[in-house]
Amino acid sequence: MKYQKVDKSNVFKNIFQNIADSSNGCKIMLKESTTVKRLIPIEIIAGLIIGLVSGFKPVEFIILLAVIIHLLTSETLNTAIEEVNDLVTEEENERVKRSKDIASAAVYFWHIAFTVLTLGFALLHVLGVSWWTMMV
């Protein structure tokens, strides 16, 4: 897609165009990203089951939702970085590989954060400890 100069005279048209472009990006992610299609839904379902069985408080579900949103955001940025790298060169290149690996590390960290928080909340509920009282 060729870069288009922003038309400042029609703000609402620009807003709706941005929404359409973002929706298109979401469709691409849902269609092409294995992580978004398979792994993240498994994490969400597992987190919900663990949360319901353990008796998570609403605030704990909200925290996990925020982590999932960050996970989706980092996966989207990782995919964009990989797409740009593939556009630059399709030949094997160590710097391109490093760039892709570094971008995927952000996704990895959010997967770890979700898992640790889910299991940590569950463990605290099993032990009968309120994590928010531990913070004061």
89 found inside a domain: yes
> How does pLDDT run along the chain (136 residues), one tens digit per residue?
667 676 667 888 888 888 999 999 889 888 888 888 888 899 999 999 999 999 999 999 999 999 999 999 999 999 999 889 888 888 888 999 999 999 999 999 999 999 999 999 999 999 988 877 776 5
Q: What is the DSSP string of 55-102?
A: T--HHHHHHHHHHHHHHHHHHHHHHHHHHHHHHH--S--HHHHHHHHH
Residue 40 belongs to some domain of the structure: no
Q: How many domains does the chain have?
A: 1
Residue 50 located in a structural domain: no
Q: Is the dihedral of CA 30, 77, 105, 85 positive or negative?
A: positive
- Which tokens sit at 75? 């996966």
Whether 48 is in a domain gets the answer no
Q: Does the residue 42 lie in any domain?
A: no
The whole domain housing 79 covers 73-136
DSSP 18: H
* Six token digits for residue 33: 């990203």
- Residue 125 falls within a domain, yes or no? yes
54 inside domain: no
Whether 30 maps to a domain, the answer reads no
The pTM (predicted TM-score) of the whole model is 0.79
